[in-house]
Amino acid sequence: MHMKKILVAEDEDVIRDFVVINLKRAGYDITEVNSGDAAIEAFDEAGGNFDVALLDIMMPGKDGFAVCKHIRAQSNSVGIIMLSAKTQEMDKVSGLMLGADDYVTKPFSPSELIARVDAVHRRVSMVRNPDEPPANIVSGPFELNLKSRSLAKDGRTIDVTQIEFQLMEHFMQNPNVAMEREEILKQVWGVEYFGDAKIVDVNIRRLRMKIETDPGSPKHIITIWGYGYKWAD
C-alpha cells in the first residue's frame, strides 16, 4: 500500500504542529520543515517523491511561491496547496498562476484541511495508478491521453498540472455545453471543496495561456458572461 507522502513547509511552529498532528491522524507520512530553503532541500533529497506539498506563502528566505515554482519545474504530478494568512486575492492568484492546485486561508479547521489535502491526494493517485483502460479524447487540435494524463495540441505536448488536465477532460467530454462555475467546481475540485469559485477563473486563465493561440480572445474555452464557460473545438 502506497504511503501518502506529504511535505509540510510552515515557519510558525504552532501551526505546523497542528497541521502535522492532524495529517498524521489522517494517515499521511510527513516530512516537516520550517523554511522555504529547507523545503526545496527536502524535496530534492527525496527525489521529488511526495504526493502533496503544503506550503506556507510567507516564510523567511525563500517564500512559498519560490518553493512552488521549484517543485513545478520538476514535477507536474505533485499536488501543491498554498497556506495563506492573508485573505488577499492577489496572493491566491499568484500562487495559482505559478502552478499551485489549491490554497487554504488561515485560520482553518482540521476537517477543512484534511478535506482539501485528501482531494488533491486523490487526484495525484489517479495519475499514478490509473485504473481506466487507456483512452484518448480528441477535440479539434487537442488530444488528451487518459493513461499518461497528458495533453497535446497539433501533436505537441503541453505541460499541464493535474487540475488543468481535469478541466480539459471535463470540457472535452462536454463540447458546446454551457457550464456554470459552480458545476465545474464540483466536477473538478469535488463536492467537499470549501473554497471560492474564483479558483475556477484563475485556473482557466492559466489554462488559456497554455492552449489558446491568443489567450486574449480565446477560441476554445469561451466565457459565458455571468454564468461560466463552454468548450468549442
Mean pLDDT of 41-64: 93
The pLDDT of residue 232 is 93
Q: Which pLDDT band holds residue 127 (cuts at 50, 70, 90)?
A: low
Decide: helix, strand or coil at residue 46.
Answer: coil
Which residue from 2, 3, 10 is spatially nearest to 29, judged by alpha carbons? 3
Q: Which pLDDT band holds residue 133 (cuts at 50, 70, 90)?
A: low
Domain ranges of the chain: 4-128, 136-231
The pLDDT of residue 2 is 60
The pLDDT of residue 96 is 75
Query: Is pLDDT of 167 > 90?
Result: yes
The pLDDT of residue 87 is 62
Pick the CATH number of 4-128 from 3.40.50.300, 3.60.21.10, 3.40.50.2300, 3.40.50.620: 3.40.50.2300
pTM for the whole thing?
0.65
Mean pLDDT of the chain, nearest integer: 87
- Specify the range with the lowest mean pLDDT, choosing from 114-118, 120-124, 180-184: 120-124
The pLDDT of residue 78 is 92
Q: Which pLDDT band holds residue 69 (cuts at 50, 70, 90)?
A: very high
Strand 156-158: give its sheet, edge to edge.
136-139, 142-145, 150-153, 156-158
Sequence-separated (6 or more) residues with CB below 8 Å from residue 44: none
Mean pLDDT of 16-44: 95
The pLDDT of residue 221 is 96
Helix (H) or strand (E) holding 184: helix 181-184
Query: Is pLDDT of 163 > 90?
Result: no
Query: Is pLDDT of 20 > 70?
Result: yes
For the chain, give the percent of residues with pLDDT over 90: 52
Which residue from 21, 32, 23, 20 is spatially nearest to 4, judged by alpha carbons? 23
Fold of the domain built from segment(s) 136-231: Arc Repressor Mutant, subunit A (1.10.10)
